[in-house]
Structure formats: C-alpha cells, structure tokens
DNA sequence: CTTCCACTACTAAGATTTTCATATTCCCAC
DNA sequence: GTGGGAATATGAAAATCTTAGTAGTGGAAG
C-alpha cells in the first residue's frame, strides 16, 4: 500500500517513515503543500495523510484541491486541534478521518485500516476504469478490451496497464514507471520496463497502437479515436 | 430508517442529528442509558448507536441488556478507546461494529450501511444464501451444492466458503481474507489461507473450478457457466 | 484418552520477473 | 541520402518469487 504524507515537521515524518517500514507500507513524503500536490498528481496512492497546517498551502486547502480533481483517495488529516467545528470543516472539504497530534502509531494504524477498508469495499460505488476501449475492474482484476476479455495478464502487467489507463497521453520515463508501478525501492535495470511494455503490446490486441515509444524519453499510452 | 442514538455528549448528538437529516435518516436521541433502554423498548428501530460510556448505565451494559431481550437489532458502539481488548469485549456483548471518536460522517455512514446490510441479509436470510450451484443455511450450517449435501466442512472452512459466496468474483489477498474471515486480530502465517483453500477445493465437488488462484495476488471465487 | 481441527513448516513444482546478449530502429550530423 | 552512435526491441536464460501439497504439532473438544 502506497501512502503519501504531506507534513512539514521532520520528526513526525521520520517517525511515520520508520513506522511504515515496520508495517510494510510504502511511504512517500512531501514537506509542503505544493510539493504534496505535485507528488499527488504524479503518483498513485492508496491513502493521503495531510497535516492541517502547512507552509506553501494549507493542508485543508490541499485536501479540497485534491477532491476537486475528482479523486476519491482516502484522506486522513493530522491536526493539533481537537475542536469539532474544525472537524466539520475538514469533513466538508472531503477528509475521511482525523487524527489529533500527538498520536500513537497504533491509533494511526487503526485509522488507516478503517479508512482503506472502506475504500476497498467499494462503498463509494466505484465501477472501475472505463475508457474508449477498456473496461477494468480492479477488485476482480478483470480486463476487457472491446468486449473481449484479456485474462492472461501477470500481476506486473496488470499493474502497469492500470497505471497507463489512469494516466493516458502522459509520457513517463522508465525511472518514473519503476517508481510508480514497481515501487520506490527498485534498483534494477531500466530495461525491465521495456520487456513489460513488449509483453503488453503482444498480449493486448492492437497493443502496438496503444503503447507508444517516446524516443529518448520513455513511453506513453494513448487510445486513438480511429 | 429509524435510528436510536444513546449519547450523553450534546455536540455529538447534534452533529448526528444534522447528519441524519442530510442523509434522510430518522433519528431518536437519548442522553443516558436508562432513557435509552426505555426508548428502545417503546419504539422499533433499525439500528442502535450507543456511546461506550454513559451516565446511568454504561453503553456496554446497555448493549448486553438489549441482547438479553433477544433483540437482534444492529448495534454500533461509539468509543474513544481504541484498544483491541475493549473491542473484543464489545463484540462479546453483542455489538456489531465499532466507531472510534472522533469519527467522520462518512466513516459512520459506511458502518451504518455495512451493519444494516448485514442485518437485512440475516433477517430475510431464512432461506440462506443461494447461488447458481449453492444453497447455504447459516443457522444450521448446512451446505448443499447441486442438490448434494456437503456436511463435512469444518467451522473455518464453512466460514471461508460463506465469505466467498457472499463476495463472488472478487479477488482477495490472503491478508484480506485473514482480516475478513479469521478476524481483525490475526497475526499468523498467511499460508494458513492456502491450506483452507485446498481443503475446500478437495471437499467441494469441482472445487478446483470454483476457487481460483489469482497469481501474485490471492484468491477469488467464481462459478463458471463453462 | 482419542479425535478433530487449525495452524505451521517444509519441499517441489510452477509462474513470473529480471537480466543479458543481440538485433533492430531511430536520430542527427555530414 | 548516408553512416555512426545511441536508444529501443526482442528472445531466451537465469534468478526470484509464489503456490500446491504433505506431514506433523499442539490444543481443544468430546
């Protein structure tokens, strides 16, 4: 599970970092709102943890901004305040839950589980990813292209495809793809990406016309109208 | 839907009142345990929300008392505590779910939906679970597949089967299954799931075609037409 | 005491991912 | 155009990871 933490207090961040590694969670950290927003746009996260007060952009504003993009990613706010009026504001801005500082790792873990479980269950009524040609349900890991099921994708292939479907027309370097799809702790050969792209091109009908090589840069996914 | 809230903190009550009216739910409020019990006896509710600690009668005692009347109304406990031992006590007293304060309306709504959905299934579930091939009565723990009784399932096997029957086609990781079927507080070996899957595959005719391994992810249950 | 069940440990088999060597394509300067 | 250099495509072996299956332990129930 990939978590983005936007928090300017380094001691809180490092504590979370330690905690995540113990729990087997993958954490990405940003020190201010602008950086946080940028990282949010670039990566795909299962959960956001935002500090209420941040330099650059208030956490609460960042939260609203993220919701305005249509994202339904679970958001937990960290706050020193405990007044209910603040919480109401927070909820209206789209936060899913609150943790007041100082907090214990166990408390946070319980919230993380609660919030992500709700998201997983699809209580938000998520139907899956739909594009011109594709229909993907993450929960069942089903891929359908033009009415035809593609059921022989391996885990990495599936993840890579989903990432591209969710970021169409955008060019990604191999490094970025390794970061986003493989995870931050990948230190292998960048050619690995090439191989997976090749497999997707082969396994998906007309794959050559979907996965475009951007010479000298990386790859992009684009469905052509024709 | 009619909900009885027993909560002594007025600000929480008023927030819930506001929330209910927005969601189109009907709320009845009691400020202490005795009043709560009286209202419970007088009215007919689809759901009870009880604060853990109450003047007059502890929420936990109220919960037990209500269960002693034979009522199976869904109960959600509100608690500031977050320790697992408390939750265990709560579940033993008959609570259906927990929400720790402070909580978000969204979280609460998710729980309300989950709990009442469960209750509905249980209430109308005189017939049990029916699928293309299965017919399961939870109360008697009977399993019939294609007219043939399967009566040698162990408790865990039965639970696991029921869970899958209720979540067809969905892929679950071992971690998720342990959480959902075994319970929140399981920290054992994930391979345990494999063994139970294997047993179900063996004990249930054509089990191999029902329990699908999703490589690198987990398992899913799917009844295939072909 | 015996039986049954849940869980763990271990091994072999199998699938996937990565690496690597080689072929091919592409860009750019000439 | 053409050739050189760099980047990408491809195929296949190697390394890694995942699962199935079996057997056995311990504890609970009868």
> Is B70 in the same domain as B158?
no
**Which strands, in side-by-side order, build the sheet including B211-214?**
B171-172, B218-221, B211-214
In the structure, how far is the CA atom of residue A180 from the C1' atom of nucleotide C12, in angstroms? Answer: 34
Residue A84 lies in a domain: yes
* Domain C-terminal end among B92, B123, B154: B123
Q: Which residue, among B26, B29, B39, has the nearest Cα to B6 in the 3D structure?
A: B29
Q: Is the peptide bond before A138 cis (omega within 30 degrees of 0)?
A: no
> Is B34 in the same domain as B87?
yes
SS3 content of chain A, % helix, strand, coil (to 5): 45, 20, 35
Q: Which residue has the higher pLDDT, A109 or A219?
A: A219
Contact, B212 CB vs strand D, < 7 Å: no
> Is B42 in the same domain as B28?
yes
Contact, B182 CB vs strand C, < 7 Å: yes
Query: Residue A90 — very low, low, confident or very high, per pLDDT cuts 50/70/90?
Result: low
Residue B226 lies in a domain: no
Of A88, A118, A121, the CB nearest to B107: A118
Residues 56-95 of A with CB under 8 A from B: 82, 84, 87-88, 91, 95
B114 touches chain A (CB under 8 A): yes
pTM (2 d.p.) = 0.55
> Is B65 in the same domain as B165?
no
Tell me the C-alpha distance between B111 and B76, whole Å. 8
Model confidence over B45-76: pLDDT tens digits?
888 998 877 766 577 778 877 877 767 788 88
Q: What's residue B211's pLDDT?
A: 95
Q: Do A96 and B105 touch (CB under 8 A)?
A: no
Of B107, B113, B171, the CB nearest to A140: B171
Model confidence over A173-198: pLDDT tens digits?
999 999 889 987 788 999 999 999 99
* Domain C-terminal end among A121, A148, A163: A121
> Is A158 in the same domain as A105?
no
* Domain C-terminal end among A121, A145, A173: A121
Q: Do A91 and B100 touch (CB under 8 A)?
A: no
Mutual orientation of helices B105-123 and A105-121 as an angle, nearest 10°? 60
Contact, B175 CB vs strand C, < 7 Å: no
Give the DSSP per-residue string, B165-219: HHSTT-EE-HHHHIIIII-TT--S-THHHHHHHHHHHHHSTTGGGTEEEETTTEE
Task: Specify the CATH number for the domain of residue B6.
Answer: 3.40.50.2300
In the structure, how far is the CA atom of residue B100 from the C1' atom of nucleotide D17, in angstroms? Answer: 39
> Is B11 in the same domain as B109?
yes
Of B100, B179, B216, the CB nearest to A155: B216
Residue A226 lies in a domain: no
Compute CA distances B117 → A148, B90, B108, B109, B144, whole Å: 34, 20, 14, 12, 24
Structural domain boundaries, residue B134? 129-221
Going by their DSSP bridges, the two strands B47-51 and B26-30 should be labelled as: unpaired
Contact, A216 CB vs strand D, < 7 Å: yes
Q: Which residue has the tokens 């998201």?
A: A119
Q: Do A87 and B105 touch (CB under 8 A)?
A: no
> Is A147 in the same domain as A209?
yes
Residue of B nearest to A81 (CA): B102
- What the block records as the tokens of A98 is 């609150």
Q: Once rounded to an integer, what is the mean pLDDT over residues A30-59?
A: 81
Q: What's residue B93's pLDDT?
A: 60
> Is B75 in the same domain as B10?
yes
Give the DSSP per-residue string, B37-72: HHHHHHS--SEEEEESS-SSS-HHHHHHHHHHTT--
Q: Please count the other Cβ atoms lying within 10 Å of the Cβ belonging to residue A172.
A: 22
In the structure, how far is the CA atom of residue A218 from the C1' atom of nucleotide D8, in angstroms? Answer: 10
Contact, A141 CB vs strand D, < 7 Å: no
Going by their DSSP bridges, the two strands B75-79 and B97-100 should be labelled as: parallel
A139 touches chain B (CB under 8 A): yes
Q: What's residue A92's pLDDT?
A: 57
> Is A7 in the same domain as A117?
yes
Q: Do B107 and A120 touch (CB under 8 A)?
A: no
Mutual orientation of helices B33-42 and B59-68 as an angle, nearest 10°? 30
In the structure, how far is the CA atom of residue A192 from the C1' atom of nucleotide D6, in angstroms? Answer: 18
Protein residue minimizing CA–C1' distance to D18: B216
In the structure, how far is the CA atom of residue A190 from the C1' atom of nucleotide C26, in angstroms? Answer: 19
Q: Where would I find the H helices in chain A? A: 10-23, 33-42, 59-68, 84-93, 105-121, 155-166, 174-177, 191-203
B167 touches chain A (CB under 8 A): no
Provide the shortest C-alpha distance from residue A80 to chain B (in Å). 13
Which positions ≥6 away from A30 have C-beta within 8 Å?
A4, A5, A6, A7, A36, A38, A39
Residue A214 lies in a domain: yes
Model confidence over B151-208: pLDDT tens digits?
889 988 998 998 898 888 889 999 888 877 886 556 788 999 999 999 999 999 889 8
Tell me the C-alpha distance between A68 and A64, whole Å. 6
């Amino acid at each position: 599970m990939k978590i983005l933490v936007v928090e300017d207090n380094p001691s809180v961040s490092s504590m979370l970092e330690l905690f995540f590694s113990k729990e087997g969670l993958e954490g990405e950290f940003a020190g201010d709102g602008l950086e946080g927003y940028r990282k949010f746009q670039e990566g795909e996260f299962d959960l956001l943890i935002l500090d209420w007060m941040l330099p650059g952009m208030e956490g609460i504003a960042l939260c609203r901004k993220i919701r305005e993009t249509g994202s339904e990613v679970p958001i937990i706010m960290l706050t020193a305040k405990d007044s209910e009026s603040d919480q109401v504001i927070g909820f209206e801005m789209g936060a899913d839950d609150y943790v007041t500082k100082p907090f214990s790792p166990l408390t946070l873990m319980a919230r993380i589980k609660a919030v992500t479980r709700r998201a997983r269950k699809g209580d938000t009524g998520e139907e899956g990813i739909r594009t011109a040609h594709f229909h993907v349900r993450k929960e069942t890991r089903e891929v359908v292209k033009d009415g035809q099921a593609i059921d022989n994708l391996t885990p990495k292939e599936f993840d890579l495809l989903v990432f591209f479907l969710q970021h169409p027309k955008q060019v990604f370097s191999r490094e970025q793809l390794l970061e986003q799809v493989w995870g931050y702790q990948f230190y292998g050969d960048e050619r690995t990406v090439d191989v997976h792209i090749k497999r997707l091109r082969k396994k998906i009908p007309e794959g050559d016309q979907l996965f475009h090589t951007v010479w000298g840069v990386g790859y992009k996914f684009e469905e052509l109208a024709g």
